[in-house]
């Protein structure tokens, strides 16, 4: 097998599961006992902003109690020594790749530790809870929302992602169920670019047939092992 020169890695909630952050497919379609429709859509925010803010406040607070696991760390370590092109795209809104030391990283679904002003669209660092009394730094009004891409909204930095997919020779998908588009379609783009396509997941994903290779197992074990083979 020739050594890849340009790699795109896609991660999903499964890579953070062993750090103690629940996925939602493993949880009967619920994320921390909430239906996605109630907390992760613009309609939900318009209907009940306090519920949505409380949900993301709790997810943000949870980050203090979790650590990157060997899968996050192996990706960051690999990136440091790899001399080709490398892009890590995560669907996760946690900060575990950042804390592991990953550098070329796109959070396509946003980040828990950021908020966005709904008036100016400015993005702010957000460590504390957002409440009815939290004022936005840019306009001094209580207009902050979580910097999260909700269902029905457009993911971030898609041009950069598709450009990297068009040029990659290895596409590696880790811990994602293949239900959420456009991420679930990345494998097809990479395949058309002629890339080797590999899935690492605890169980076969919905899109497994699109991958040339699939490794079933825990990310903390299989990701470091796979990266050692490159
Ligand atoms: P998903 O919950 O739909 O699927 C997770 C997949 O990971 C499943 O197929 C499961 O079998 C697999 N998995 C579970 N534990 C694993 C392990 N230890 N090793 C390897 N695989 C494992 O997640 P998704 O495909 O990322 O889509 C969920 C959406 O919800 C995303 O858009 C994401 O933004 C959001 N979400 C994010 C987080 C987070 O930031 N950590 C957590 C839950 C949901």
What's the 167 CA to ligand 1 centre distance in angstroms?
Answer: 26
pLDDT tens track for 53-66? 999 999 999 999 99
pLDDT band at 29 (very low <50, low <70, confident <90, very high): low
d(Cα 118, Cα 31) in Å, to the nearest integer?
25
Q: Cβ distance 88 to 182 under 8 Å? A: no
Looking up tokens 């596409």 gives 171
Catalytic positions, written as ranges: 109
pLDDT band at 25 (very low <50, low <70, confident <90, very high): confident
Is residue 203 in contact with ligand 1, taking CB distance under 6 Å? Answer: yes
pLDDT tens track for 76-110? 999 999 999 999 999 999 999 999 999 999 999 99
Please compute the mean of the pLDDT values over residues 9-22 and round it to a whole number. Answer: 96
Give percent helix, percent strand, percent coil of the chain, each to the nearest 5. Answer: 35, 20, 40
Is residue 34 in contact with ligand 1, taking CB distance under 6 Å? Answer: no
Percent above pLDDT 90 for the chain: 87
Atom nearest to 92 CA in ligand 1: 40
3-state secondary structure of 60: helix
Is residue 19 in contact with ligand 1, taking CB distance under 6 Å? Answer: no
DSSP 6: E
pLDDT tens track for 166-210? 999 999 999 999 999 999 999 999 999 999 999 999 999 999 999
d(Cα 30, Cα 14) in Å, to the nearest integer?
14
Please compute the mean of the pLDDT values over residues 137-166 and round it to a whole number. Answer: 95
Given ligand 1 and candidates 9, 10, 11, 12, which is best to mutate, with the most ligand atoms within 8 Å of its CB? Answer: 12
Cα dihedral sign, 166-202-206-214 = positive
3-state secondary structure of 9: strand
Residue 43 has a pLDDT of 96
pLDDT at residue 152 greater than cutoff 80: yes
Average pLDDT, the chain: 95
Q: What are phi and psi of 145, to 5 degrees?
A: -125, 160
Q: Which two tokens stand for residue 157?
A: 């930095």
pLDDT band at 24 (very low <50, low <70, confident <90, very high): confident
DSSP 194: T
Task: Count CB atoms within 10 A of the CB of residue 27.
Answer: 13
pLDDT tens track for 105-140? 999 999 999 999 999 999 999 999 999 989 998 888
pTM reported for the whole predicted model: 0.96
């Amino acid at each position: 097998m020739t050594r890849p020169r340009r790699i795109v890695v896609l991660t999903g909630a499964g890579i953070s599961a062993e750090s103690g952050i629940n996925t939602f497919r493993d949880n009967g379609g619920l994320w921390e006992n909430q239906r996605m429709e109630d907390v992760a859509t613009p309609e939900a925010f318009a209907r009940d902003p306090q519920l949505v803010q409380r949900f993301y406040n709790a997810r943000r607070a949870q980050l203090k109690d979790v650590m990157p696991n060997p899968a996050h760390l192996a990706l960051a370590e690999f990136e440091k020594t790899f001399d080709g092109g490398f892009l890590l795209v995560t669907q996760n809104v946690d900060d575990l790749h950042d804390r592991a030391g990953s550098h070329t990283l796109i959070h396509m679904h946003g980040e828990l530790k950021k908020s966005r002003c709904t008036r100016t669209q400015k993005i702010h660092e957000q460590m504390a809870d957002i409440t009815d009394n939290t004022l936005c730094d840019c306009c001094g009004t209580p207009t902050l929302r979580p910097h999260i891409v909700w269902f029905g909204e457009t993911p971030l930095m898609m041009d950069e992602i598709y450009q990297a997919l068009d040029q990659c020779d290895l596409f590696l998908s880790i811990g994602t169920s293949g239900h959420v588009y456009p991420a679930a379609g990345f494998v097809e783009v990479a395949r058309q670019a002629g890339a080797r396509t590999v899935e690492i997941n605890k169980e076969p994903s919905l899109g497994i047939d699109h991958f040339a290779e699939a490794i079933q197992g825990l990310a903390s074990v299989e990701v470091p092992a796979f990266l050692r083979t490159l």
